[in-house]
Amino acid sequence: CSNKKEVVTRSTFMLNTKLDISVWIEDKNRGVEIIQECFKRISEIEEKMSVNIENSEVNKINDHTQKEFISVSKDTSEVLNASLKYAKLSNGAFDPTIGKLVELWGIGKENFRVPKKAEIDEVLRYVDYQLLINNGENKFKLAKDHMRIDLGGIAKGYAGDEVYKIIKKNSVEGAIINLGGNIIALGTKIDGSNWRIGIQDPFEPTGTHIGVVEASDKAIVSSGNYERFSIVNEKRYHHIIDPKTGYPSENGIISATIIANYSMDADALSTAVYVLGVEKGLELIENMENVESIIITKDYKVYLSSGIKGAFEIKNNKFQIVN
């Protein structure tokens, strides 16, 4: 066979995380070019949506007063509107106006500290997605001064979908996109079989799996307490905050994985389910088409949405599927 496919992999560091893209392709040089185009696109998205870049579009909204609508690009508009959609669907468990709480805690950063209850209560006044207003025409404002948007729970998902489009457009039939644990399995393996994506064991080092999901053209996104956290007095503080309490979400869940057609949906939903807890989280997922979920709790229990039951097998008997 003259046109034999080989894997081309490139990695970089953006969105404050490690990004790996692998494409299976005949022409290696073209593979490298395609991946470079993907990284360029991710960099554009980061410039627009990062709260850590002074002049990002998100920070322009953050830095303006409640009176002024700010024009943003189609990219940012799409992510902001999706974030509002998921905020409504999750009854505020996912909230794009979480910014001031993320800053206050500084989880996973050098400035991490456990805030006083009074500080949290003060900041909670500035967390309310219903005050993020879109006037149509890609214009947004925060209807209360000092509120701050943070798209850390969804923008990486959008970047994944954009990367998927670029690779598809280039007629690649098989690729694995891994943006800091947000995975997209594009097409199939060379032999035409589905990709097999491992679900991380939240108690073990990265790469140890509790089981495997078979996937083709699917996004698999996990939110967990095991990647980004800080420890004070032996207590672990992770980076997913319950917008109702202002504290890192504690409801027994340690990992929520979503399998969906789009990684932006999966990203927002994994964060939402993590905050909602097992019962409400599963209820949200069951009400959505083409979305499945694997939830792991502290006591080694695994909860599956109905569409993935029978298709997901546990490889480690310390875990137990309970529903």
- List of residues contacting ligand FAD (CB under 6 A): 15-16, 46, 49-50, 52, 94-95, 98, 102, 109, 150-153, 155-156, 181, 223, 227-228, 239-241, 243, 267, 270-271, 275
Closer CB to Mg ion, 157 or 246, in the complex: 157
Site string for Mg ion, 148-167 (x = CB under 5 A): -----x--------------
Q: For residues 140-161, b (16+ Cβ closer than 10 Å) or e, as one string?
A: bbbeeeebbbbbbbbbbbbbbb
CA–CA distances in Å: residue 30 to residues 6, 7, 9, 243 = 12, 12, 12, 45
Main-chain dihedrals φ then ψ at residue 125, nearest 5 degrees:
-65, -15
Chosen residue from 271, 293, 297, 305 binding Mg ion by CB under 5 A:
271
Closer CB to ligand FAD, 93 or 186, in the complex: 93
DSSP string, 39-66: HHHHHHHHHHH-TTSTT-HHHHHHHS-T
Closer CB to Mg ion, 22 or 223, in the complex: 223
Q: How far is the CB of 45 from Mg ion (least distance, A)?
A: 15
Q: For residues 275-309, b (16+ Cβ closer than 10 Å) or e, as one string?
A: bbbbebbbebbeebeebbbbbbbeebebbbbebee
Q: How far is the CB of 243 from ligand FAD (least distance, A)?
A: 5
Main-chain dihedrals φ then ψ at residue 94, nearest 5 degrees:
-95, 125
Closer CB to ligand FAD, 49 or 177, in the complex: 49
Q: Residue 94 touches which of Mg ion, ligand FAD, none (CB < 5 to 8 A by kind)? A: ligand FAD
Q: How far is the CB of 318 from Mg ion (least distance, A)?
A: 24
Nearest to 152 by CA among 53, 296, 253, 35: 53
224 binds Mg ion (CB under 5 A): no
Q: Residue 152 touches which of ligand FAD, Mg ion, none (CB < 5 to 8 A by kind)? A: ligand FAD
Residues that bind Mg ion (CB under 5 A): 153, 223, 267, 270-271
